[in-house]
């Protein structure tokens, strides 16, 4: 009975409709988080909520482990095995993170408010609500980019969300069932079994490899009558597939696809996709051709969501291609809004813009020249503040930053003046590049930002450290630094390629086993880890499930 009373008491406390959005403790800072993907969940995971009031908005109440999405398209892994309920992630021992399954429709930056709408079907009551924030964390990711190519939205499959992967799985099986119906001509059967993949990036390549394996390992036995009619074509606008990887990997992939009979059309731009055919132009020859298809998967990169576009208009980033933040992930032109993951990019400051100030701060004795010792004292901070310095050293195969201070003949110098210093660093900014739109970047940014929020009070007075480029020390607020742990490209047939830090490249069967172990270990919970590993095991023993 006692527990029943306690239960009804707490019910009474929260039953007033307005109360569920109202703040429980007015002293706490209100944080609203948009999105529960890689960036959003990684932010929530380590966030200390004892001093803040956190609300999360996302139209999906789960986190999806996107690197395994291509495996879902052919049933190698089940969709349920790669998703984790958000509520498992946000439940915390020392308090509550409130989650609302809704889509944010508008960020009202001037009034520190977001407008949201629930899309749950058959909802009784009000769908729309707004939330006020002191800090907003935008982690809504990006959307597929069709480059406004006619017919793509209507006639292509995508590979971005879990539902997309499930649709592809059903679509592929449908193509086989269609192709074996009685009364079709051989040409019609061929068309139904022509699979086209637009985009030769990691996602497109991995899907092509999955599809080829699915066919070779499972479907060939179930549909032997059409086994010679299947064709996979990959269309890539650049000269090579996987062109963001090391050359060795990209040519390994091309050779493997050639052996597998996957046709790779490079230097081709898709002009139009209709229900029956795909039209493309060979850029070198200038020829246009139209090919009938059974199914097209469009995987050519991502662009900003309308929500983010609208926000950019509001805050004077109309001309930007993508939402820009500073190196602390704060949105430019909007003090209390942070953006991370695929929806934003860091606008890295150029070292040449600050060169005189850096020189002045380094020249502690005001002699007008910098000694090697003075330079060494500040270099660590410079490298943190301007990551391009490190990239520049690597690109020039320099071992040590002090090598920058050598004279043009390569001799060591005792000191440099401001002109010499400028000259030494003049090419460094050419190495600036924006971070890739990957889970690795998004997750590291989420972890970084929660770390900053957890120490917000210490950092409030000094958000950028004592000086812009100077002593960031142990307790001050460092800019975000990305650490690259390498990249995989599974290529099918139990083979994979990997690019690891330090210019390491590895390819073949053993790399596939490395892939299995890395992706098992990266699972967000033991539950999904067990599910994924048992899916793999099931596939090894019984093959993939070919029902629709």
Please report, as ranges, the residues that interact with ligand FAD according to CB under 6 A.
34-40, 57-60, 66-67, 69-70, 103-104, 139-141, 159-160, 203, 305, 307, 341-343, 437-440, 442
- 306 Cβ contact partners less than 8 Å away, ≥ 6 residues apart: none
Q: How far is the CA of 87 from the CAs of 20, 56, 58, 84, in angstroms?
A: 17, 10, 12, 9
Q: Which does 367 bind (CB under 5 to 8 A by kind): Mg ion, ligand FAD, none?
A: Mg ion
Binding region for Mg ion (CB under 5 A) out of 76-84, 131-139, 271-279, 537-545: 131-139
516 CB-contact burial (10 Å; exposed 0-12 / middle 13-18 / buried 19+): middle
- Cβ contact 363:418 at 8 Å: no
Of the pair 435, 476, the CB lying nearest ligand FAD is at 435
Strands, E assignment, 102-198: 103-108, 113-117, 128-132, 135-138, 143-144, 157-158, 194-198
One DSSP character per residue, 277-317 reads EEEEEETTT--EEEEE-SEEEE---EE--HHHHHHHHHTT-
Closer by beta carbon to ligand FAD, 304 or else 465? 304
Using the structure block, give the residue that is written with the tokens 């800019």.
Answer: 479
How far apart are CB 441 and Mg ion at their closest, in Å?
A: 6
**Residue 250 or 487: which CB sits closer to Mg ion?**
487
CB 524 within 8 A of CB 41: yes
**Torsion angle defined by CA atoms of residues 312, 314, 317 and 321, in that order, rounded to the nearest 10 degrees:** 30
Provide, rounded to whole angstroms, the least separation between the CB of residue 41 and ligand FAD: 8
Which of 171, 158, 197 has its CA nearest to residue 69?
A: 158
Contact call for residue 139 and Mg ion (CB under 5 A): yes
d(CA 104, CA 307): 8
465 binds Mg ion (CB under 5 A): no
Taking the complex as a whole, the smallest distance from the CB of residue 379 to Mg ion amounts, in Å, to 15
DSSP string, 290-301: EEE-SEEEE---
- For 421, the enclosing helix (H) or strand (E) is helix 418-425
Of 223 and 328, the one with the shorter C-beta distance to ligand FAD is: 328
Q: Is residue 37 part of the contact set for Mg ion (CB under 5 A)?
A: yes
60 binds, among Mg ion, ligand FAD, none (CB under 5 to 8 A by kind): ligand FAD
- Closest approach of ligand FAD to the CB of residue 43, in Å: 9
Per partner kind, with CB cut-offs from 5 to 8 A, the member of Mg ion, ligand FAD, none near residue 57 is ligand FAD
User: Which does residue 160 touch among ligand FAD, Mg ion, none (CB within 5 to 8 A, set by kind)?
Assistant: ligand FAD
Q: Of 248 and 321, which CB lies nearer to Mg ion in the complex structure?
A: 321
First-residue to last-residue Cα distance in the chain: 51
Of the two residues 156 and 277, which places its CB atom closer to ligand FAD in the complex? 156
Query: For 163, which DSSP code?
Result: H
Q: How many Å is the Cα radius of gyration of the chain?
A: 27
294 binds Mg ion (CB under 5 A): no
DSSP character at residue 349: P
DSSP bridge pairs for 497 = 489, 507
Residue whose CB is less far from Mg ion, 66 or 528: 66
Give the x-and-dash track for 81-120 against Mg ion (CB under 5 A): ----------------------------------------
Site membership for Mg ion, residue 367 (CB under 5 A)? yes
Minimum CB–partner distance for residue 34 and ligand FAD (Å): 4
Q: Does 35 bind Mg ion (CB under 5 A)?
A: yes
C-beta closer to ligand FAD: residue 54 or 378: 54
Cβ at position 437, least distance to ligand FAD in Å: 5
Pick the binder of Mg ion from 32, 40, 155, 193 (CB under 5 A). 40
The partner in contact with residue 489, picked from ligand FAD, Mg ion, none with C-beta cut-offs of 5 to 8 angstroms by kind, is: none
Q: What are phi and psi of 213, to 5 degrees?
A: -65, -45
Partners of 92 in the beta sheet?
95
Give CA–CA dist 189/182, Å, rounded: 10
Among 32, 38, 55, 135, indicate the residue that binds Mg ion (CB under 5 A): 38
User: Which 64-83 positions form the footprint of Mg ion (CB under 5 A)?
Assistant: 64, 66
Among all residues, whose Cβ is closest to ligand FAD?
Answer: 37
Nearer to ligand FAD, 56 or 334 (CB): 56
Cβ closest to Mg ion, residue 363 vs residue 499: 363
In angstroms, the CA 163 to CA 61 distance is 14
Q: How far is the CB of 432 from ligand FAD (least distance, A)?
A: 20
Picked from Mg ion, ligand FAD, none, the partner binding residue 365 (CB below 5 to 8 A depending on kind) is: Mg ion
| Residue 474 CB, nearest approach to ligand FAD (Å) | 29
Q: Is 210 in the site for Mg ion (CB under 5 A)?
A: no
User: What does the alpha-carbon distance between residue 423 and residue 292 come to, in Å, rounded to a whole number?
Assistant: 58
Q: CA angle, 410 as apex, 408 and 416 as ends, to 5°?
A: 60
Shortest spacing between CB 439 and Mg ion, in angstroms: 7
State the nearest-atom distance from the C-beta of 142 to ligand FAD, in Å. Answer: 7
- Point out which span in 3-11, 281-289, 361-369, 387-395 binds Mg ion (CB under 5 A): 361-369
User: Residue 232: which of 300, 175, 181 has the closest Cα?
Assistant: 175
Query: Which residues are at the interface with Mg ion (CB under 5 A)?
Result: 35, 37-40, 64, 66, 139, 345, 363, 365, 367
């Amino acid at each position: 009975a006692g527990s029943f009373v306690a239960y009804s008491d707490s019910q009474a406390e929260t039953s007033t409709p307005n109360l569920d959005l109202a703040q429980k403790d007015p002293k706490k800072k209100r944080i609203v988080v948009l999105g529960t993907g890689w960036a959003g969940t990684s932010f929530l995971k380590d966030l200390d909520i004892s001093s803040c009031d956190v609300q999360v908005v996302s139209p999906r109440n789960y986190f999806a482990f996107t690197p395994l999405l291509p495996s879902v398209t052919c049933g190698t892994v089940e969709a349920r095995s790669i998703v984790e309920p958000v509520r498992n992630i946000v439940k915390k021992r020392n308090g509550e993170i409130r989650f609302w399954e809704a889509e944010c429709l508008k960020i009202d930056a001037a009034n520190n408010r977001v407008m949201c709408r629930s899309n749950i079907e058959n909802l009784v009551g009000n769908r729309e609500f707004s939330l006020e924030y002191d800090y907003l964390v935008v982690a809504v990711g990006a959307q597929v980019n069709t480059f406004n190519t006619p017919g793509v939205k209507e006639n292509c499959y995508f590979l971005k969300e879990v539902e997309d992967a499930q649709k592809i799985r059903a679509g592929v099986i449908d193509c086989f069932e269609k192709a074996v119906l009685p009364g079709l001509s051989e040409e019609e059967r061929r068309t139904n079994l022509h699979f086209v993949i637009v985009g030769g990036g990691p996602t497109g390549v991995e899907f092509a490899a999955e599809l080829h394996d699915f066919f070779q390992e499972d479907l060939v036995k179930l549909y032997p009558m059409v086994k010679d009619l299947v064709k996979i074509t990959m269309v890539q606008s650049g000269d090579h597939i996987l062109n963001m990887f090391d050359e060795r990997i990209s040519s390994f992939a091309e050779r493997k696809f050639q052996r597998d009979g996957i046709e790779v059309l490079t230097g081709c731009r898709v002009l139009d996709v209709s229900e029956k055919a795909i039209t493309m132009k060979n850029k070198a020859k200038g020829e246009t051709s139209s090919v009938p298809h059974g199914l097209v998967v469009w995987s050519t990169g991502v662009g900003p969501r309308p929500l983010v576009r609208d926000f950019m208009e509001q805050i004077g980033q109309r001309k930007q291609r993508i939402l820009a933040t500073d190196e602390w992930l704060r949105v430019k032109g909007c003090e209390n809004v942070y953006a991370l993951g695929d929806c934003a990019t860091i606008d890295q400051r150029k070292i040449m813009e600050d060169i005189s100030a850096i020189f002045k701060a380094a020249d502690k004795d005001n002699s007008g020249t910098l000694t090697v010792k003075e330079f060494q004292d500040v270099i660590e901070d410079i490298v943190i503040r301007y990551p391009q310095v490190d990239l520049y050293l690597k690109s020039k195969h320099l071992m040590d930053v002090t090598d920058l201070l050598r004279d043009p003949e390569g001799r060591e110098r005792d000191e440099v003046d401001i002109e010499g210093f400028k000259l030494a660093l003049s090419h460094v900014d050419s190495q600036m590049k924006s971070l890739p739109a990957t889970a690795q970047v998004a997750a590291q940014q989420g972890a970084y930002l929660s770390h900053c929020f957890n120490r917000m009070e210490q950092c409030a007075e000094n958000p950028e450290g004592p000086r812009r480029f100077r002593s960031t020390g142990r307790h001050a607020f460092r800019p975000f630094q990305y650490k690259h742990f390498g990249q995989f490209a599974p290529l099918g047939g139990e083979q994979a390629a990997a690019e690891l830090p330090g210019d390491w490249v590895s390819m073949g069967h053993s790399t596939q086993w490395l892939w299995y172990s890395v992706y098992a270990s990266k699972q967000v919970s033991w539950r999904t880890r067990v599910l994924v590993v048992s899916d793999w095991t099931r596939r090894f023993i019984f093959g993939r499930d070919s029902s629709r």
